[in-house]
Structure 1
Amino acid sequence: MSAPRRNGQLSSCEPCRKSKLRCDHSTPICKRCERRGKSDLCIYHPAPLTKPREPGQILKASKKPTNSQPLLCAKTISVTHLGSSASVSLLGAAQFPGFSKRHLSGSGFLGPTSYSSFFSNELELGGRSSLSHPDTPIDPQRVTQGAQVLALLEHLELYEQLHETRSKFVPGWLLGPPMLRELIARLKASYQNAVAGSENKYIRLLDLSRVLFKNTVIPIQTKSSMNLSDYLAQFTLRWDMIGLVFAMAGAVSFQVPHQDLDKTLKDFPGTTKEGLRQIAVHATEACLQFCNDLGIISDPLGWMMVQHTIFLSALHGSCGDPNGTSDHRTWQMLGEVTTLVFALGLHQPSADGDIPFFLGEIRKRCMVAAYALDKDIATCLGRPPRICWRYCNIQFPLDISYDELVAEPEVREAALQRLDATGWNIDGRLDKGSRVRGSLIASLFRESVLEVSLSHELDGLEQRVLEVCRRSDDYRSGLPEFLQWTDDKEDSSLASLHLEFSYHQFLLLQTLCKRTGKGLELLMRTSTDIITLLLKMVSMQSRLGLVPPHVIWDLCYIGLPVAGVLSIELLRQSQTESLTLLATASPPFPRSEIIQKLSVFLAQFDTFVPQNEGDYEFCNRGQKVISQALDRVLSGASSTIDASNAILPNGTTLGDDMEFMAFLENFDWEQEVRLTFG
């Protein structure tokens, strides 16, 4: 019989209690669970509503509950596949002894106005190390959660294949293939050593979890003589490194072509991309929570946060659901990234640190990634950026490949000799560090665009718009020859960089046109050029057999608002004869050309944009708005598309063309779509 509770009643087993079924209270397994095939789940909890359960413990009438550490049965955390229903039971919030102040877990980088500068320079905390105290108490429940996360490392081969697949298309410039290969190889060896020859794998994972908690609170000490292997050999078994692997796996699932992702997953039966992403987001957030509880800051934590922000922006989007409820998880995570890069001092790099060459360059790239993310998400939300150039000393990473970045000194020096005075490679290669440098350039001008667009000052607006456009054109023309875009080139990465400059001009001219009514002709010309380039990018990638995700993102998050502006003007030009007559006095409006380009754009959008990901619903609404505008222009009658389903809430319908055009002009394309940092 089971043990009695305080009220004298016999305890019910957990399956019967949760299913509200009558338990016969037999031990070790009740007869009802035997009949239902739930013998492995049949346990008796001493106080099911007040304490974490201990599935491994079978209670008897003569045995009192002990205060031993709560454990989860290994069966509850074993993961044989990552299907759409896969999940990680990571428990609730851990119960910590108290809210005591963490030792040395504080500010990291302290600038010249900080309190320490008034007393002694010796009070600086050396912000780029992991700051914590080795005696930080570790909660047993967190150790249990950690073991559950570590159980997911059995799928390291899948994560490795995903990274290899991505590197064939777009090698990462923050954490490139050499680092990820060695990191995953070391984690594989550690995981296999931990579980090999054990009948109870979960007990071994609990021990490994404790090791990781102890390692994570130890400050990271670096030396300039370190190579990549030395660095990873000391710092692989940390929660920030484990979380980085899961964050990368989640982000990569959006960064490889869908057909290649499906092909990779076929090698792992029962695995789906939905299950993979669910596992990745839960595991990464658990590792983030571990690091937060321990109060540490570190370089790997920054890498994990950046990758997780990219992952969340693709998974949840930045704008919310179609009903207008904002999903602010991406924005919230961006705030965490911003806090960390300032705490690490990445915005004010020090030249006298005893750090290896590769780590200094990775820090530059991490700062660029955070800065670019900040500008992209701030643009889509119409909010002020969190990281401002004027308060930072953001340095350009060198235009060398990741293999050269982590290579031996003689190889690295040979690569440095192939750079010009401004840091660009003299070989005209786009596959080295030009992408990260291009991202920084684009983000710098995006901040200028935001400064003009978000300002409420109308005085001198036209001059400010023209000044930013002039500086952007001057900088673009001053780039090396191999970064100059011409119509005879076929590189989509180069086209994307050129597209960024054009989009900045579009945003500025749109602001000018909305607020002053000026610049319409130049806005239309810029919009037409952008749509033309986008269609060319899709065309040349289709000839190669695939359209990579970064081109699809450009199609959505740049192309859609530009197409919206063109459709507005197209509808306006079609309204009255007076506008048509007016157009003959100035350069004629290319009505036929724009109709053709918008029609092709909508077809490409419908073909290549993945459904049910990120901000797809918002993008889909914008697509339907443009389609409805085209229908009205071509048919001369109200569109056959149901406007209440496509664009308007509460069953509201649109009447004549003038009413629809008024709605179309107020459709905020900048808020309805987002920009994604790739």
Structure 2
Amino acid sequence: MARLQGPHEGHYARSPLHPDSQRSGHVDGLPVNPGAGEDSSASSLPRHYPNPGYLGMSSHSTIFNQVFSSTTPHGVAAQQDVQPSAPPISPALNDSIQDLTILEKGLFALNRLDQLEIPKLACLVQSWLERGVNLPLAGLFVPQCLTAVANWSNLPKPPWNSEDYRIDTRHRFRVLLENTRKVIAIRQDSTFELFLGQTLGENLRLEALGIFLTAAARATLDTCYFPPLFSADRQRRELIKDISLIGDWCLETCLALDCLNDLQLVLQYENFILHSQVDGDQSYHSWRRMGDVASSLFALGYHERIDEGVHNIPTFLAELRRACFARIYAADKSLAIFLGRPPRIVKDYCFLQLPAYPGITTDEYAASSDNVTQSIRSETHWGISNGNNDFPQPINYTADTRCSALFASLKEEVLLMFRKRHLNEIERISELRSRVVKQWQELPTHFRLPSSLKDCDGSQFERDFLAGTRLDYLHILLLLGLVSQKRASELDESLLEVAGEMLSITVEVIILRDRLVNSGTSLIWKVAQYGLPAAGIVSLALLHPISADCRPFPRSKMLQDLSTLVAEISIGAWIQAGEPNFALFTRATQTIRSLLDSLTAWKPHTELCNSHQNENTDLTEDWNAFIDSQPWEFEMDFWANLAEHPTLIG
């Protein structure tokens, strides 16, 4: 029986090294480290090392293991039977500073948790789930964690703040620690229910508790009014901080125990997303947590190829690991672009992989395809659609994971081009733009926003997905346009067109926010990542129009979108002072407002009047806006008459 184990458990860790894990060849036309050839000396079996975490081909342990395999008869076969033992679980914490710190924080966190109204929080999360929203990566575990934590909180407890309560709290904390230290045993025929059985109920772990708290915080973020818990923004923000604080303690305790596993990686990612929404995308807390997630991804070896047969794991766990890689990889690129910092995960060192759609097996998909070489699995085809409609890909979080990771790979190449702008790689830019457009066209038709968002007939989730996917695609084109620009005042027509569409979609998303639900990225993130750059390009175009040779751009539409963006932010319709990214939006809107004031300031048309001075001393003296209208009527006749004003004709 293979085990899912942390990097220090039993002083051994598995490495998923095998010939396929070498990043040679191509994946869906994408070159992946073409210089790395397959090493025939690498074993296709899992390896166990007396060092923490994943160790790759360059590590000393790999070299010594090859020496051992060459000098020991049947050495490789003997390794297959080696199973690392679980670390011994002590019934009590030691008196070390680290253990005492964990104990003190744990008792404090459980005390705060008991003061929360868990049944009401569970109702909030349940209503949140019923709206079609979930945690994008941990969504598979949220309903079960919800039930388990609710049952755990309903267990009888002594009166609060009594001596018996403190004893009971210490006991519950030790049980949580012991459960969290246990290795989650898994073999290839293990079921999802067996996996859950080792994390919930009597085996409730801190990871499961943390996932519930993360879902509760996200549900509170997405719910403006829930009288059982809060009825004002101040109460809601305080509740979010309390829940986030306890959730952080769950994750930090897991990290301190040094028992890295799949569930902990899932919690790390969701905790990072939560902090980006609580602290803001510019916060160092969010940036640091992204680094922690990337470190855990590499330590677990999930940047390498994930193979069920080689690693002796069930399919559901392999798909979870692929989803972990895809979402973390995409999040790393998005944050790197937003902050202008280097990405932490570079695909030259990774095996690019995507999760399969739930309910559609690879065999079924390949058998019904005209091209049997294409597969829904990323190892053979790192794409989205193969033109087959027998198994239409559903719009869900898996679709969002696949699309975002696919575009993230292209964004990484654009980031590299920003570092080499002095080379002026015109051909390279053109080639990459063609690949971006081709990838968009290869998406399933129902993944592409057909028209205005308000005209879409899908669910709230689907509309948000369509808008987010379109914005993600346009964002790459915008970045490519910025790379090719020599001067900010010389805007390309295609760049301005992309920016205008991005701004229009962002404004429409803001206006229709009550008809959308989070399909993978929040409204605040959409405005920050896509809306503000687009608004910046549009503002530059209004200040420095494109050349006369280009066709006129829709100036009125751009002014309208900018005005709407400023108005929605200024009046606090969807974001208020004290919320994440508010300071960023405030600075941007102040600049846009100044631009709008300068562009829309009233100026007398003296030149126009002087040119007709001999014929008419005043072009407007015979014009009356209220001809045949009452002063209080502002209907069709008024606007038709206003359109005939001499300064508006033409």
TM-score (norm 1): 0.67
Equivalence for 1:82? none
Q: What is the aligned counterpart of 2:449 among 485, 502, 510?
A: 485
Equivalence for 1:616? 582
Distance, in Å, in 2 between the alignment partners of 1:613 and 1:130 is: 47
Cα distance per residue 1:43-95 (max 9 Å; x no partner): xxxxxxxxxxxxxxxxxxxxxxxxxxxxxxxxxxxxxxxxxxxxxxxxxxxxx
Q: What is the aligned counterpart of 2:196 among 217, 232, 257?
A: 232
Q: CA deviation at 1:103?
A: 4.9
1:287 maps onto 2:274 in alignment: no
Distance, in Å, in 1 between the alignment partners of 2:265 and 2:601 is: 54
Distance, in Å, in 2 between the alignment partners of 1:287 and 1:509 is: 44
Distance, in Å, in 2 between the alignment partners of 1:511 and 1:270 is: 41
Q: Secondary structure at the match of 2:396?
A: coil
Report the count of equivalent residues: 506
Asked if structure 2 preserves the Cα contact closer than 8 Å seen for 1:116 and 1:124, the reply is no
Supply the AA of the counterpart residue of 1:462.
I
Q: Secondary structure at the match of 2:544?
A: helix
Cα distance per residue 1:435-487 (max 9 Å; x no partner): 2211211222221221222x144223333322221111011111222223311
Equivalence for 2:469? 497
Q: CA deviation at 1:272?
A: 2.4
Supply the AA of the counterpart residue of 1:562.
A
Asked if structure 2 preserves the Cα contact closer than 8 Å seen for 1:534 and 1:555, the reply is yes
Distance, in Å, in 1 between the alignment partners of 2:573 and 2:529 is: 13
Q: Secondary structure at the match of 1:120?
A: helix
Equivalence for 2:396? 431
Give RMSD over aligned pairs: 3.7
Q: Secondary structure at the match of 1:588?
A: coil
Equivalence for 1:339? 295
Q: What is the aligned counterpart of 1:365 among 323, 331, 347?
A: 323
Supply the AA of the counterpart residue of 2:442.
G
Equivalence for 1:560? 532
Q: CA deviation at 1:632?
A: 0.8
Q: Are residues 545 and 588 of structure 1, via their aligned partners in 2, closer, same or farther at CA, if it must alter by over 3 Å? A: closer
Q: CA deviation at 1:381?
A: 1.2
Distance, in Å, in 2 between the alignment partners of 1:511 and 1:133 is: 56
Distance, in Å, in 1 between the alignment partners of 2:197 and 2:150 is: 13
TM-score (norm 2): 0.70
Q: Are residues 594 and 192 of structure 1, via their aligned partners in 2, closer, same or farther at CA, if it must alter by over 3 Å? A: closer
Asked if structure 2 preserves the Cα contact closer than 8 Å seen for 1:244 and 1:304, the reply is yes
Distance, in Å, in 2 between the alignment partners of 1:196 and 1:309 is: 35
Distance, in Å, in 2 between the alignment partners of 1:130 and 1:394 is: 32
Greater shift, 444-453 or 330-339, is seen at 444-453
Equivalence for 2:108? 148
Counting only pairs closer than 5 Å after superposition, residues 97-496 of structure 1 correspond to structure 2 as 103=11, 107-120=52-65, 134-135=89-90, 138=94, 139-140=99-100, 142-151=102-111, 152=113, 155-167=117-129, 168-176=131-139, 179-193=141-155, 195=157, 200-236=164-200, 237-254=204-221, 256-259=222-225, 262-263=226-227, 265-266=229-230, 272-319=235-282, 327-348=283-304, 349-351=306-308, 352-400=310-358, 404=359, 421-423=374-376, 426-427=391-392, 429-431=394-396, 433-453=398-418, 455-487=419-451, 490=456, 491-496=463-468
Counting only pairs closer than 5 Å after superposition, residues 539-618 of structure 1 correspond to structure 2 as 539=511, 544=515, 550-573=522-545, 583=548, 585-606=549-570, 608-611=573-576, 612-618=578-584
Distance, in Å, in 2 between the alignment partners of 1:484 and 1:165 is: 29
- 5+ residue gaps, structure 1, are 1-99, 320-326, 406-411, 574-578, 638-678
Supply the AA of the counterpart residue of 2:109.
V
Q: CA deviation at 1:302?
A: 0.7
Q: CA deviation at 1:343?
A: 0.7
Asked if structure 2 preserves the Cα contact closer than 8 Å seen for 1:538 and 1:547, the reply is no
Cα distance per residue 1:279-306 (max 9 Å; x no partner): 2232223223322332221112111111
Q: Secondary structure at the match of 1:289?
A: helix
Q: Are residues 125 and 315 of structure 1, via their aligned partners in 2, closer, same or farther at CA, if it must alter by over 3 Å? A: farther
Q: Secondary structure at the match of 2:185?
A: coil
Distance, in Å, in 1 between the alignment partners of 2:205 and 2:80 is: 21
Asked if structure 1 preserves the Cα contact closer than 8 Å seen for 2:214 and 2:247, the reply is yes
Q: CA deviation at 1:545?
A: 8.6
Cα distance per residue 1:297-350 (max 9 Å; x no partner): 11121111111111111111232xxxxxxx411111111111101111111124
Supply the AA of the counterpart residue of 2:142.
L
Q: CA deviation at 1:182?
A: 1.4
- 5+ residue gaps, structure 2, are 1-7, 14-50, 67-75, 377-384, 457-462, 604-650
Equivalence for 1:511? 483
Q: What is the aligned counterpart of 1:625 among 584, 591, 595?
A: 591
Greater shift, 183-192 or 197-206, is seen at 197-206
Q: Are residues 471 and 594 of structure 1, via their aligned partners in 2, closer, same or farther at CA, if it must alter by over 3 Å? A: same
Distance, in Å, in 2 between the alignment partners of 1:290 and 1:540 is: 40
Q: Are residues 438 and 164 of structure 1, via their aligned partners in 2, closer, same or farther at CA, if it must alter by over 3 Å? A: farther
